[in-house]
Structure 1
Amino acid sequence: MTFLDAVPGPLLGVALGLVMLLDAIPLLGILVPADVAILTTSGSVDPFSSLGWVVAGCLAGWSLTFFAGRYLGERLRRGRFGAWVGAERWATADRVVREGGSRILVTAPFLPFVNTLIPLAAGGLRMPYGRFLRTAAIGSVLWGGLYVGLGTLAGQVADWLPTGNLTMVVTVALGLTFGWIALMGTRKLATVRS
């Protein structure tokens, strides 16, 4: 029995949703280990419930970021935050949203750091919120489903091992392997488009 097994499922789900919300906020998202949070909690929470919390947290965070881009976009770009991000990254985010449209939101969750700028750019470029939300939901379900599936698979593989203490090692190893494969594939597609 692990520490996570002692935490009530609903409380663990709320914590997972909060982690996803924080992961979607620019700058703060860099510090939040969302991938690891999903991978490690997948064995302790029902996979469908876990996926629901992941998607809800992602969409809440992305919606906040979208509306920040819509109403504060220019002020953010001209301020310290904008200077820290850099003109080149802003231009890349704008170009990706303009050229990829809402389709880019499906792959954005797989791109660390960029995934927090895409909603800001989409809001600043006045993408309709309904279209933004639909495609962001698809991306969140795909990204969350991948990690919840990997976490569940790792938990089952760890049960076959001589000791259950290797669950975390197997989970993180599988998550990092598939995460890097998805990241490299998505970056390759983004490079081909530019």
Structure 2
Amino acid sequence: MAFLEAVPVPLVGLALGLVMLLDTVPILGILIPADVAILTTSGVTDPFSSLGWIIAGCLTGWSLSFLAGRFLGEHLRSSRFGDWIGAERWATADRVVREGGSRILVTAPFLPFVNTLVPLVAGGLRMPYGRFLRNAAIGSALWGGLYVGLGELAQQISGLLPTGDLTMVVTVALGLTFGWVALKGTRRLATVRD
């Protein structure tokens, strides 16, 4: 945290937006700990500024994926990249977008791995870009707002603790708890749907 406090706030925000953009890229997004980046920057940047960078990064990355799906969808599926993702994951993403329509874009940020494929599939299925962008903005705002809120909550709780700066410990504990609950809920929802 001390390192981040020495970095100019606009640079921290820009880095946060870049992390969000990279998090939306298929395959690469699995390796990017976007939620950890949001929690780590809590208290360093203004929460509304952080949320703005999160939404901008997510929408930029998702828009690029949408356009790739629109113009290269079939080619991507039949390429080595498509083989690496696997037919089952493509089929799951297709089913999720067809059944959920544009509403799935609101919940997609909460679904690991699927969130990187949904924009590609939406573009490939010729979803209107305006509808895609509107729902993607709502989803990224909800997802980002949740993590920014968790970070702010961790800041408040750590200020109440007598040992001083336990912000990182509280932040990680809240993040892991929320992550575990979200994972269990997602698995339960997937089991019910299957």
Q: TM-score range by the shorter chain?
A: over 0.9
- Answer yes or no: is 1:117 the counterpart of 2:117: yes
Alpha-carbon distance between aligned partners in 2 of 1:174 and 1:136, rounded to the nearest angstrom: 25
Q: Deviations over 1:122-141 (max 9, x none)?
A: 01111111000000111001
- The Cα shift of 1:80 comes to 1.1
> Aligned letter for 1:32?
I
1:78-97 aligned within 5 A? 78-97=78-97
Q: CA deviation at 1:190?
A: 4.1
The answer to which of 151-160 and 46-55 deviates more is 151-160
How far 1:156 moved relative to its partner? 1.5
Tell me the equivalent position of 1:33. 33
Q: How does 1:77-156 map to 2 (within 5 A)?
A: 77-156=77-156
Provide the rounded CA distance (Å) in 2 between the counterparts of 1:186 and 1:128: 27
- What percentage of aligned pairs have identical amino acids? 81
Instruction: Provide the alpha-carbon RMSD of the alignment.
Output: 1.4
Q: Is the 8 A contact 2:106 2:139 kept in 1?
A: yes
Q: How many residues align?
A: 194
2: CA distance, partners of 1:164 / 1:113: 37
Q: Structure 2 counterpart of 1:141, which letter? A: A
**Ranges in structure 1 where 5+ consecutive residues have no aligned partner:** none
Q: Could you tell me the TM-score, scaled by structure 2's length?
A: 0.95
1:111–1:187 CA contact under 8 A, matched in 2: no
Residues 175-190 of structure 1: matches in 2 within 5 Å?
A: 175-190=175-190
The whole-number CA distance in structure 1 between the counterparts of 2:175 and 2:114 is 20
Q: 1:161, CA displacement in angstroms?
A: 2.1
Deviations 1:102-135 (A, max 9, x none): 1111110011111000111101111111000000
Question: 2:4 and 2:181 mapped to 1: Cα distance?
Answer: 28
TM-score by length of 1: 0.95
What residue ranges of structure 2 are gaps of 5+ in the alignment? Answer: none
The answer on whether the counterparts of 2:159 and 2:165 sit within 8 Å (CA) in structure 1 is no
- Does residue 60 in structure 1 map to residue 93 in structure 2? no
2: CA distance, partners of 1:190 / 1:49: 34
Offset of residue 188 of structure 1: 3.0
Aligned 8 A contact 1:107 1:186 in 2: no
Contact 1:110–1:183, Cα closer than 8 Å, also in 2? no
